[in-house]
């Protein structure tokens, strides 16, 4: 395939062009209740060509490799018609000529469909065994092999293979009009082993849903909270990570005034990282869609804003350096600045250290959604536990956290030593491109003065 694509730009006279060609092979299995609703294998393929001329971008897609030259001509034509948002030339990078092929101990591509169905059925039967209060269950298995080719006029010629696999099991429990949910999801690029041996996790999701039926609603107020690694990761991804994407920053004058490099955003021990080079994580990429190798980017370093995430185009506009964060959902989309694996770095506090000194607080576990509007955020957790005199107490529900992300970052007063990254099924959405594979996480963290909505 590389031999077919590498001559695509012969005769091209524009400033810069690149192309992505992808072959996607996926498996999807779905149980709803007792019924096997879907067990399918699908293959899709196609490519996209971008042409840049002084900030003006043309984009065209194609289905067959033999159609690529027509797509190059169309993208070049469109780049001459379009008016650039801002005139800029892409930052130059060293071309990459390489193959990136994963070595997996238990490759999901070699596992039969029947074995995958049996695995998901086993998890689904555990969910169904939760008792009469469990009213519905949904269990999903997905894997995908993405065979990608990247060719550019500056000399890059790359083949990369990404292999994802993951499972999500969701249950609903009801007691009259009181309906509660429990969900577990797991998955990444480490191979089929990542979805094995998760029976205890499924049982925990069932127990959570049932326990929440009898849990009291949290009392609204201002608390010292401990966030578990999952919701800490969702918080840093949604509330801060998106603000660090440079295509947001350069278009928004208010955000430019806020996101000033060197500005203090947290205590000295706070470090926030985006790192697409972490092999095996759901957000791992060998190379981004601008032909840039991923790297560890410290968004916050020692409590201060250190960098932002860039494509070659946004780096040119802002006089900064590409970070390997130009990503598209698939060949049919223009790449945007997107996160990869985003997390808070661990420090040395134990969980007992975090509990110490909290007279009245909350231990907040998991995330089920939220909203952000510039620096303001609102998140809902799966569950929480009261903290009374430094001890974990009873479960509470309907916990909603809200506030200003920058004030909240400044109120972090302890960071744990137990980093966890979460991937699973699903992903990040932006610009109509959803779900892009990402990971997020952190250790347990403690935050003062968090506003919690709930019963009064």
Supply 155's token pair.
């000399």
The least confident of 12-26, 70-84, 177-191, 273-287 is 70-84
pLDDT per residue as tens digits for the range 379-424: 999 999 999 999 999 999 999 999 999 999 999 999 999 999 999 9
Query: What is the helix, strand, coil percentage profile of the chain, to 5?
Result: 25, 40, 35
Q: 3-class DSSP state for residue 190?
A: coil
* Cβ–Cβ < 8 Å for 335, 289: yes
Q: Can you read off the two tokens belonging to residue 272?
A: 């926030």
User: In this predicted structure, what is the pLDDT of residue 55?
Assistant: 78
pLDDT for the residue numbered 454: 64
Task: Of 3-7, 70-74, 190-194, 423-427, give the lowest mean pLDDT range.
Answer: 3-7
SS3 194: helix
pLDDT value at 215 more than 90: yes
User: pLDDT digit string (tens) for 107-139?
Assistant: 999 999 999 999 999 999 999 998 999 999 999
Q: Where are the domains of the chain?
A: 2-214, 217-453
Distance spanning both ends of the chain, measured CA to CA: 64
| Amino acid 456: pLDDT | 42
d(CA 312, CA 326): 8
Q: Is 352 exposed, middle or buried (0-12, 13-18, 19+ CB in 10 A)?
A: exposed
Q: Is the pLDDT of residue 280 over 90?
A: yes
Domain 2-214, what fold?
A: PmbA/TldD fold (3.30.2290)
Strand order in the sheet with 341-344: 304-305, 296-301, 272-275, 341-344, 439-442, 420-422
pLDDT at 105: 85
State CA 76 to chain mean position distance: 32
Q: What's the pLDDT score for residue 12?
A: 86
Instruction: Return left, alpha or beta for 369; rule: phi > 0 is left, psi -120 to 50 is alpha, else beta.
Output: left
pLDDT tens digit sequence for 429-454: 999 999 999 999 999 999 999 999 86
- Provide the token pair at 322: 């590409």
> Where do the DSSP E strands lie in 189-280?
216-217, 221-227, 272-275
- The answer to whether the CB of 325 falls within 8 A of the CB of 312 is no
Rounded to the nearest integer, the mean pLDDT of the chain is 94
| Cβ-contact 160, 294 below 8 angstroms | no
Cα angle vertex 373, ends 369, 375, to 5°? Answer: 105
Are 73 and 65 spatial neighbours (Cβ–Cβ below 8 Å)? no
On whether the CB atoms of residues 395 and 262 are closer than 8 A, the answer is no
pLDDT in tens, 306-340: 999 999 999 999 999 999 999 999 999 999 999 99
Percent of the chain with pLDDT over 90: 88
Provide the H-helix boundaries in 299-452: 312-318, 351-355, 405-410
- pLDDT at residue 172, as a whole number: 97
Copy the structure tokens of residue 268.
């000295």
CA angle 55, 57, 63 (to 5 degrees): 160
Other residues' Cβ atoms within 10 Å of the Cβ of residue 128: 17
What's the pTM? Answer: 0.94
Biggest CA-to-CA distance, the chain: 73
């Amino acid at each position: 395939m590389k031999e077919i694509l590498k001559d695509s730009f012969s005769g091209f006279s524009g400033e810069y062009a690149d192309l992505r060609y992808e072959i996607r092979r996926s498996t999807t299995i779905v149980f709803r209740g007792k019924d096997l609703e879907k067990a399918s294998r699908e293959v899709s393929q196609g490519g996209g060509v971008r042409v840049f001329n002084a900030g003006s971008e043309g984009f065209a897609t194609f289905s067959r490799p033999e159609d690529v030259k027509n797509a190059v001509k169309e993208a070049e034509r469109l780049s001459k018609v379009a008016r650039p948002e801002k005139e800029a030339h892409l930052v130059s990078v060293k071309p990459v000529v390489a193959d990136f092929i994963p070595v997996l101990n238990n490759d999901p591509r070699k596992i039969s469909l029947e074995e995958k169905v049996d695995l998901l059925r086993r998890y689904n039967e555990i969910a169904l065994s939760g008792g009469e209060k469990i009213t519905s269950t949904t269990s999903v298995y997905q894997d995908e092999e993405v065979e990608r080719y990247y060719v550019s006029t500056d000399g890059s010629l790359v083949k990369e293979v990404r292999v994802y696999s993951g499972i999500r099991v969701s249950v609903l429990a009801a007691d009259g009009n009181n309906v509660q949910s429990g969900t577990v999801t797991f998955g990444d690029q480490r191979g089929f082993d990542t979805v094995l041996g998760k029976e205890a996790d499924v049982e925990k999701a069932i127990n959570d849903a049932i326990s929440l039926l009898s849990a009291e609603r949290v009392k609204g107020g201002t608390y010292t909270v401990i966030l578990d690694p999952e919701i800490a990761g969702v918080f840093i991804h949604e509330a801060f990570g998106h603000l660090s994407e440079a295509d947001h920053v350069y278009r928004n004058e208010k955000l430019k005034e806020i996101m000033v490099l060197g500005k203090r955003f947290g205590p000295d021990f706070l470090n926030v990282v985006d790192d697409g080079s972490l092999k095996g994580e759901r957000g791992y990429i060998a190379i981004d869609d601008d032909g840039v190798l991923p790297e560890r980017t410290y968004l916050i370093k020692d409590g201060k804003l250190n960098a932002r995430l860039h494509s070659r185009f946004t780096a040119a506009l802002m006089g900064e350096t590409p970070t390997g964060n130009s990503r598209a959902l698939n060949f049919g989309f223009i790449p945007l600045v997107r996160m990869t694996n985003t997390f808070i770095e661990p420090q040395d506090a134990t969980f007992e250290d975090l509990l110490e000194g909290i007279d009245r607080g909350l231990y907040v576990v998991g995330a089920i959604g939220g909203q952000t509007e510039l620096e303001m955020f609102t998140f809902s957790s799966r569950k929480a536990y009261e903290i009374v005199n430094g001890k974990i107490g009873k479960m509470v529900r309907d916990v909603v956290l809200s506030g200003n992300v920058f004030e909240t970052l400044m109120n972090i007063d302890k960071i744990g030593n137990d980093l966890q990254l979460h991937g699973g099924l699903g992903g990040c959405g932006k610009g109509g491109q959803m779900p892009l594979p990402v990971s997020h996480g952190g250790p347990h963290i403690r935050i003062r003065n968090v506003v919690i909505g709930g019963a009064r």
